[in-house]
Amino acid sequence: MKVPITILIRISFLCALYACKSDKEIRPEWFAQGWGEVSAIYNGGAWSNIGSAALSPNVLPGSSCQGSLTVQIFKFSRDGYAREILQFSGIPKKQNGNYTLTSNALLGCSSDSVSATFNTFQDDGDVGKSTYKLDISQPLKLQIISYSSNDQRIVGNFEATFIKGSQFKNDDPAVIKIEAGKFDSPISIKGRFE
C-alpha cells in the first residue's frame, strides 16, 4: 500500500514538532513569577530541561536567614515533573559578591556562606529518590552578579560537586559535578504553589 506524500509530510512535521519541544514548554506553571534561565555543564554534558526561581524573603522569626533569598534550580521530566533540584539558601539581599558554599544549613545564613543542597525525585516529583552533599574537596562557588529589588531579579554564577549519600541504592550517579553554571531568576514573594 502506497501512502500519499501529503500524509508523510504531515506525520514528519508532527514528529519534528514534538521532538523540538522547547524547554520553556516543559516547565510547569506552578511558579508564581515564571521561570528564569539557567545554563550549566552537568557531569560533562549540557544540563537540559532546567529552570530557576528565587524566593524571598525568608521570614522565619529569629532566624539568621531572615530576609535572605533562596534560588532553586529544577530539572524537569518531559511531562513537567521535578526530577532534580539544586538549591542555594541564605543568600543575603543587596550583597553582590562571592560566597562559600556549605552543606550545613545553620552556617548558610552568614554574611559569607550560603547553604547548597541537591536532591533527585521520582514519580510525580514529590517522592524523593536521592540526597547529595557537597564534596568540599572540589571547587565550590556561588557568585551573585546582581540583585535588583526594582526588577525583582537575581543573577549569578555557580560551580559545585555533590556526592550521593551511601544509603541510596539506585541508578542516580554517585557524583554530580556542575560547572560553568549561570542563572538569571525572577524573585517571588509568594513561593512555589501560591
Dump pLDDT digits (tens) for 89-106. 888 876 788 998 988 766
DSSP letters spanning 137-150: TS--EEEEEEEETT
With beta carbons less than 8 A apart as the criterion, state whether 160 and 16 touch. no
What percent of the chain shows pLDDT beyond 70?
Answer: 71
Average pLDDT of the segment spanning 26-30: 73
Phi–psi pair at 59, nearest 5 degrees: -115, 25
Confidence of residue 109 (pLDDT cuts 50, 70, 90): low
Would you give the DSSP letter of residue 110? S
The Cα–Cα gap between 166 and 93 comes to 35
Extract the C-alpha cell encoding 21.
519541544
- The CA angle 66-164-161, to the nearest 5 degrees, is 65
Q: Is the pLDDT of residue 76 over 60?
A: yes
Write the DSSP symbol of residue 172.
S
**Cα–Cα dist 37/53, whole Å:** 9
Q: What is the DSSP letter of 3?
A: P
**Alpha carbon distances (Å) from 136 to 91, 100, 159, 172, 177:** 19, 10, 12, 20, 12
CA separation for the pair 152, 70 (Å, rounded): 13
Is the pLDDT at 64 greater than 60, yes or no? no
- The mean of the pLDDT values for the chain is 79
Burial group, residue 143, by CB count within 10 angstroms (0-12, 13-18, 19+): middle
> Is the overall model pTM greater than 0.85, yes or no?
no
